[in-house]
């Protein structure tokens, strides 16, 4: 009896995704070079499921029914190419290989073309939700070969998270669209995490709330319109005691943020395609700034800050920060989604925005109640170029904007860095301004470089011999 599916890579994500597939009634074989991971695989499987492991790639491939359906869950970059080089000679025409890691979308496009020359179907597929998601229901973003998608669709729908009985998976578009959507998901994830950390700083350092109080605030927030996975886990983080010291674990964690590249790729892509996503850029830059720990220590001594003037009414302040965070989160999604709109045109991905927000409602790291609101907006108009242009969303935004202004006012006057929140406000103010001061930039460009400009009152392109008064 041959196996329905194969999984290459039995690390945390691969193993959990494999068990999820098995629990849903599909037989699955696993491969990893690490013998220990292979032996542990069968012990961890649910009784009654059909799971088998091997550290021989030949044996693994021979175990699979034809056409083979193989999921790769190995680190992005060279490891994916290494696996493909080794496995290609063992596969036959019509087999399907699905890369479920966080691969760079340009690598995915290259691999699609490469495997197609052998008659093999290659799909890039974003999977979000971490370890628990992989095991019990992630959000799954497949793209690429439509025929291949249809043959794995029943499995994907079975293992994905469910919202109102609907699976959090859908076809994200052609070529590397699946990995592109996952990359932007991660860019938004970076932005929201940055905004939550700034809100924490404002409440903790600014209003002197203790971890107990922060737990309560985030609990309230999670029960209201800020309801989301990231707020929920942040709530729990405030409660976690440390096993080494007798305080909270959070207070012992060094303030240097790591990253694996997806946030940076999102920013690079936005620059490349002429899309403004300043809050995602700010989130990437903030992680970079955080890594200058030694310099920050020196600079904090050289430029000591005056004492923070605590807000007069803590309750009101908490509410304002919550509203500011809500609006800033909304505008972070807005920026990411606007990049998807542009990329979809540019690369002919044909990304269905409505399905993107639909499948982000459950399973993924950026799942939140807000996505339901976005889903309603895209249902009304699937071609909405920017979420902010939706009537209902404009009402939400208008009800929160003054809180964002006040929160940033407090932050700037007290020297608390809010790179994320400030970019949200600056983006919003620019996006909603009919006449920006770039008429002056155009004049300067034409002055020193004859770069020409357009006029408000006439069509055409103009150049002026600007007069210098420097006689």
Residue nearest to ligand 6PG (CB): 128
Closest CB to ligand 6PG among 51 and 159? 159
Q: Does residue 14 belong to the site contacting ligand 6PG (CB under 6 A)?
A: no
Question: Of 185, 126, 184, which Cα lies nearest the Cα of 156?
Answer: 126
Which of 27, 194, 262, 423 is close enough to bind ligand 6PG by CB under 6 A? 262
Task: Give catalytic status of residue 395 as yes or no.
Answer: no
Site stretch for ligand 6PG (CB under 6 A), options 39-47, 240-248, 253-261, 397-405: 253-261
Residue 4 annotated as part of some ligand binding site: no
Torsion over CA: 426, 429, 430, 435 (sign): negative
Q: Does residue 259 belong to the site contacting ligand 6PG (CB under 6 A)?
A: yes
Q: Does residue 186 belong to the site contacting ligand 6PG (CB under 6 A)?
A: yes
Q: Does residue 283 belong to the site contacting ligand 6PG (CB under 6 A)?
A: no
Site stretch for ligand 6PG (CB under 6 A), options 260-268, 349-357, 441-449, 458-466: 260-268
| Beta strand 28-31 pairing with 51-54 | parallel
What track of x and - describes contact with ligand 6PG for positions 359 through 398 (by CB under 6 A)? -----xx---------------------------------
Q: How far is the CB of 127 from ligand 6PG (least distance, A)?
A: 7
Contacts of 281 (CB under 8 A, 6+ apart): 267, 270, 423
Site stretch for ligand 6PG (CB under 6 A), options 66-74, 89-97, 254-262, 434-442: 254-262
Closest CB to ligand 6PG among 159 and 364? 364
Residue 301 annotated as part of some ligand binding site: no
Closest CB to ligand 6PG among 181 and 425? 181
Closest CB to ligand 6PG among 76 and 250? 76
Q: Does residue 102 belong to the site contacting ligand 6PG (CB under 6 A)?
A: yes
Which token pair is 24?
């849903």
Residue 190 annotated as part of some ligand binding site: yes
Residue 406 annotated as part of some ligand binding site: no
Residue 150 annotated as part of some ligand binding site: no
Which of 35, 205, 241, 260 is close enough to bind ligand 6PG by CB under 6 A? 260
Residue 102 annotated as part of some ligand binding site: yes
Out of 182, 354, 358, 400, the active site residue is: 182
Residue 129 annotated as part of some ligand binding site: yes
Task: Give catalytic status of residue 182 as yes or no.
Answer: yes
Q: Does residue 270 belong to the site contacting ligand 6PG (CB under 6 A)?
A: no
Q: How far is the CB of 130 from ligand 6PG (least distance, A)?
A: 5
Q: Does residue 189 belong to the site contacting ligand 6PG (CB under 6 A)?
A: yes
Which token pair is 459?
């069509």
Q: Does residue 100 belong to the site contacting ligand 6PG (CB under 6 A)?
A: no
Residue 456 annotated as part of some ligand binding site: no
What track of x and - describes contact with ligand 6PG for positions 113 through 132 (by CB under 6 A)? ---------------xxx--
Residue 15 annotated as part of some ligand binding site: no
Out of 37, 174, 189, 320, the active site residue is: 189
Q: Does residue 191 belong to the site contacting ligand 6PG (CB under 6 A)?
A: no
End-to-end CA separation in angstroms for the chain: 92
What's the CA dihedral at 345, 348, 352, 357 to 10 degrees?
Answer: -70
* Residue positions forming the annotated binding site for substrate: 102, 128-130, 185-186, 190, 260, 287, 445, 451
Which residue numbers are catalytic?
Answer: 182, 189
Residue numbering of the annotated binding site? 102, 128-130, 185-186, 190, 260, 287, 445, 451
Residues near ligand 6PG (CB under 6 A): 102, 128-130, 186, 189, 258-260, 262-263, 364-365
């Amino acid at each position: 009896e041959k196996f329905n599916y194969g999984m290459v890579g039995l690390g945390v994500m691969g193993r959990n995704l494999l068990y999820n597939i098995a629990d849903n009634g599909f037989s699955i074989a696993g491969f990893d070079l690490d013998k220990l991971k292979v032996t542990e695989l069968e012990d961890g499987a649910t009784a009654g499921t059909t799971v088998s492991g091997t550290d021989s790639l030949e044996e693994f491939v021979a175990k699979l029914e034809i056409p083979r359906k193989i999921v790769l869950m190995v680190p992005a970059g060279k490891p994916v190419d290494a696996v493909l080089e080794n496995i290609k000679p063992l596969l036959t025409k019509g087999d399907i290989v699905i890369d479920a890691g966080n691969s760079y979308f340009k690598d995915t496009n290259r691999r699609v073309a490469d495997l197609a020359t052998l008659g093999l179907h290659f799909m890039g597929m974003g999977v979000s939700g971490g370890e628990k998601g992989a095991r019990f229901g992630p959000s799954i973003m497949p793209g690429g070969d439509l025929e291949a998608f249809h043959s794995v669709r029943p499995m994907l729908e079975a293992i994905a998270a469910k919202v109102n009985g609907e699976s959090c998976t859908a076809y994200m578009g052609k070529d590397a669209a699946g990995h592109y959507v996952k990359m932007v998901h991660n860019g938004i994830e970076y932005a929201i995490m940055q905004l939550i950390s700034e809100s924490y700083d404002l409440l903790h350092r600014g209003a002197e709330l203790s971890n107990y109080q922060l737990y309560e605030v985030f609990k309230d927030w999670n029960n209201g319109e800020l309801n989301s996975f990231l707020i929920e886990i942040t709530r729990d983080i405030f409660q976690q005691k440390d096993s080494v010291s007798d305080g909270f674990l959070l207070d012992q964690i060094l303030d240097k943020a790591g990253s694996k590249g997806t946030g940076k790729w999102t920013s690079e892509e936005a620059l490349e395609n002429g899309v403004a996503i300043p809050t995602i850029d700010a989130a990437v830059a903030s992680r970079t700034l955080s890594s200058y720990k030694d310099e920050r220590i020196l600079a904090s001594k050289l430029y000591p800050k005056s004492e923070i003037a605590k807000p007069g009414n803590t309750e009101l302040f908490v509410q304002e920060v919550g509203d500011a965070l809500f609006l800033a989160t909304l505008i972070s999604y807005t920026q990411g989604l606007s990049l998807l709109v542009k990329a979809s045109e540019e690369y002919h991905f044909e990304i269905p925005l409505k399905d993107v927000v639909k499948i982000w409602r459950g399973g993924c790291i950026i799942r939140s109640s807000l996505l339901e609101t976005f889903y309603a907006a895209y249902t009304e108009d699937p071609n909405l170029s920017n979420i902010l242009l939706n009537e209902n969303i404009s009402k939400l935004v208008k009800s929160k904007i003054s809180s964002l202004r006040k929160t940033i006012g407090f932050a700037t006057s007290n020297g608390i860095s809010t790179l994320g929140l400030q970019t949200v406000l600056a983006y919003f103010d620019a996006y909603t301004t009919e006449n920006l001061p770039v008429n002056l930039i155009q004049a300067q460009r034409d002055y020193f470089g004859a770069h020409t400009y357009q006029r408000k009152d006439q069509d055409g392109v103009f150049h002026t011999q600007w007069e210098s008064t420097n006689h």
